[in-house]
Amino acid sequence: MEFKHFSHNHSLIVHQVIQGTEVTCSGCNSPATGAVYVCWPCNFFLHEFCFSASRSMTHASHPPHPLTLVPYPTYPSNTFYCNSCNLVGTGLSYSCSHCDFDLHVHCAYMPTSANHTPQTCDVPDITLQNQTHHPQQVHLAPPVEARDDATVDHNTKNEAMPNPSGEVQVLQSDDPVGVENAGASRVIKPRGLKHFSHSHPLYPSEFEDEDPLFCSACEEEIIGTAYRCSKSKCDYHLHKKCFELPREIRHKSHVEHPLTLLASPVNKETEKFTCNACFGVGSGFTYNCSTCDYDLHVSCSSLPETVKSDHHDHELSLMYSSPVTENEKAEQPGITFSCKVCENVVPESYWLYYCADCKYGIHLGCLNEKDKYEGKSLEEVVVDHQAQMQRLQIQMDMARQNAQFLISMGQSLASL
């Protein structure tokens, strides 16, 4: 008799594993003996337990939302981080589509008393004070030490998610390292904070000017308070402001659809994206519309709507396209608008800051450059411009490679 299971495309049959031998269950990656469900061509096996697991459940450790059994992790790394045992998994998992919450199948069916019951906290860098004679009044996650033995690097979820308003899981420990006595109260410090973009817990740290570190989200230099991964091989850091970014936003530049925060670009071939605001290339976090192939740097997504510039008397307003009107195009075919700083033509879809009264506009980059070079020597300006030209050359080379790739793809498809 053949059986169907949602996690596999082919039919399965029941097989009795020979006594003294074992196979690995494709659902939970644990050894399987006795009767199993198997697809021989794919070397696919399922325990009876995994085969019969419920497709959805309401779990005591995550009461706000139901959990759905998914056939494989919804992360590009093909792994997930179990919120019960804090270990990495690769097979079936119970996942919450609203929160970054996952459970191994076997952890989900443990008795409630054996499971951790993670809570959420709206303030990532929280420090709680609690009277020593009432320790049970601290309503955080139960004592769970953040493990550092997970071997997966970036655990990013590339799918549309409702905005959980920056919710994070605080992993707390009874280890004295995490507790400081201060008179009649004790200060409980988080051992680690989970973020959707990374599989390991992140820890708040202070970074000095001499630390050559860059944020994995916005790719800008880190100075001051930020979050780091304790595993040195990850080299993963986040600004506090980037750690707290909302998972979904509505932006005036793209009113048709919401934009979802992705921890890595959609294009896995180049691992890059082109920002629709400044048309710069990025490799970190992006606010993305999968329907329209629309991306924004996280920094561009939060640009102020108006700015004051020392180089113009009036306030400049952010515009999401060229200020040339349809009437002006009709009256003067081929009319273009030029940046008042670099005097280069502003392409129609580029963002810029603009004064309508004076018809004065500046590229995003040029506005930033003018502010950046205030008080610098000519030599410093030249060096900075040379660095900018090198970056632009790299971007042009990448664009050329992308174009060649698309052409070869088109030729291959045409020859089919």
User: pTM value?
Assistant: 0.47
> What confidence tens digit (pLDDT) does each residue in 101-116 have?
889 888 888 765 444 4
393/167: higher pLDDT: 393
- Residue 382 tokens read as 């030249």
Q: For residue 100, is it within any domain?
A: no
240/118: higher pLDDT: 240
Given a cut of 90, is residue 13 above it in pLDDT? yes
405/43: higher pLDDT: 43
How would you classify the pairing of strands 93-96 and 281-282? Answer: unpaired
Q: In what order do the strands lie in the sheet with 286-289?
A: 248-251, 254-262, 286-289, 294-297
190/100: higher pLDDT: 100
State the maximum Cα–Cα separation within the chain, in Å, rounded to a whole number. 86
Same domain assignment for residues 354 and 282: no
Average confidence (pLDDT) over 36-58:
91
> What confidence tens digit (pLDDT) does each residue in 318-333 have?
999 888 877 777 777 7
103/122: higher pLDDT: 103
Residue with tokens 């993670």: 118
Instruction: Work out the burial of residue 58: count CB atoms within 10 Å of its CB; fewer than 13 is exposed, 13-18 middle, 19 or more buried.
Output: exposed
Count of domains forming the chain = 3
Which among 28-32, 46-50, 131-135 has the top mean pLDDT?
46-50
Last residue of a domain, one of 265, 299, 333: 299
CA 204 and chain centroid, separation: 18
Same domain assignment for residues 294 and 342: no
Fill in the DSSP letter of residue 178: G
CA torsion 72-75-80-81 (nearest 10°) is -160
Q: For residue 412, is it within any domain?
A: no
For every residue of 152-175, DSSP letters joined together read -------S-----TT-EEEEB--S
> Is the alpha carbon torsion for 317, 319, 325, 328 positive or negative?
positive
Give the pLDDT score at 116. 43
Same domain assignment for residues 322 and 273: no
Give the pLDDT score at 134. 30
Given a cut of 50, is residue 175 above it in pLDDT? no
Query: Where does 212-306 have alpha helices with state H?
Result: 240-243, 298-301
Same domain assignment for residues 315 and 342: yes
Mean pLDDT of the chain: 72
Distances (CA, A) of 39 to 20, 33, 85, 358, 382: 21, 16, 30, 72, 65
Same domain assignment for residues 276 and 365: no
- How far is 137 from 62, CA to CA, in rounded Å? 20
- C-beta atoms surrounding 170 within 10 Å: 25
Q: For residue 59, is it within any domain?
A: no
Same domain assignment for residues 196 and 290: yes
pLDDT band at residue 259, thresholds of 50, 70 and 90? very high
pLDDT band at residue 274, thresholds of 50, 70 and 90? very high
Same domain assignment for residues 284 and 312: no
Q: Supply the CATH number for residue 48's domain.
A: 3.30.60
3-state secondary structure of 112: helix
Give the pLDDT score at 169. 41
pLDDT band at residue 295, thresholds of 50, 70 and 90? very high
Same domain assignment for residues 254 and 338: no
Last residue of a domain, one of 356, 372, 388: 372
CA angle 203–84–244, rounded 5-degree value:
35
Lowest mean pLDDT among 16-30, 159-173, 205-219: 159-173
Same domain assignment for residues 254 and 314: no
Q: For residue 264, is it within any domain?
A: yes
Give the pLDDT score at 38. 94
Contacting residues for 99 by C-beta, under 8 A, at least 6 apart = 62, 64, 65, 120, 164, 167
pLDDT band at residue 277, thresholds of 50, 70 and 90? very high
> What confidence tens digit (pLDDT) does each residue in 356-388 have?
888 888 888 877 544 444 444 434 444 454 454
Q: Which domain holds residue 355?
A: 306-372
- How far is 256 from 243, CA to CA, in rounded Å? 26
Q: For residue 318, is it within any domain?
A: yes
pLDDT band at residue 122, thresholds of 50, 70 and 90? very low
Average confidence (pLDDT) over 131-139:
28
Could you tell me if 75 and 102 are in contact, meaning their C-beta atoms sit under 8 angstroms apart? Answer: no
- How far is 59 from 62, CA to CA, in rounded Å? 5
Given a cut of 50, is residue 308 above it in pLDDT? yes
Same domain assignment for residues 250 and 347: no
342/161: higher pLDDT: 342
Contacting residues for 210 by C-beta, under 8 A, at least 6 apart = none
Same domain assignment for residues 213 and 312: no
Q: For residue 150, is it within any domain?
A: no
Backbone angles phi, psi at 370, to 5 degrees: -65, -40
- Residue 301 tokens read as 């997504």
Same domain assignment for residues 269 and 330: no
